[in-house]
Amino acid sequence: MTLARALCAFIAIALPSVASAQNIPKGITGLYGARTETCFGTKCEGGFADTILISPMGEVYARVDISLMFQNGERCEVNKANGFWKEGHLLVQMDGPPACKLHLRFFRGKVELRDDIEAPCVRLYCGFNGSLNATLPKKGSL
């Protein structure tokens, strides 16, 4: 076996999900967001912006930045995560430890963010009351 074939075989085994990545559909990159009222104890104040920014990084990859605010000022922040299009959605895999995954699906001008059930990211990126599950409308394109 030549060195080139051995390297290709290794890459196909080590990165099966990236090897099957597809081109990202046009129109999904951009800023998604909404203002939500945030309460500190029993006192509710003005809204904070929940945002998901999806920036193109070539035809297959996108950079994902997430900022979600929760009760008592707790925040979920994911910055500069790399995602790729696979099986009809944007998949973000982070190596950890522990490794975790986020799924972003797009429909009717909105993004639906869901934490992976088997490899959740919430413990790594959120406070006690946070969640990496949200649906936000699109605010603008890139």
Domain at 88, CATH number: 2.40.128
pLDDT tens, 46-58? 667 899 999 999 8
Residue 42 belongs to some domain of the structure: yes
Q: Specify burial of residue 24 (Cβ count, 10 A radius: 0-12, 13-18, 19+).
A: buried
Q: What's the number of domains the chain is made of? A: 1
Residue 81 belongs to some domain of the structure: yes
Residue 12 belongs to some domain of the structure: no
Residue 125 belongs to some domain of the structure: yes
Residue 72 belongs to some domain of the structure: yes
**Strongest mean pLDDT among 14-18, 57-61, 73-77, 111-115:** 111-115
Q: Which domain holds residue 59?
A: 21-141
pTM here?
0.79
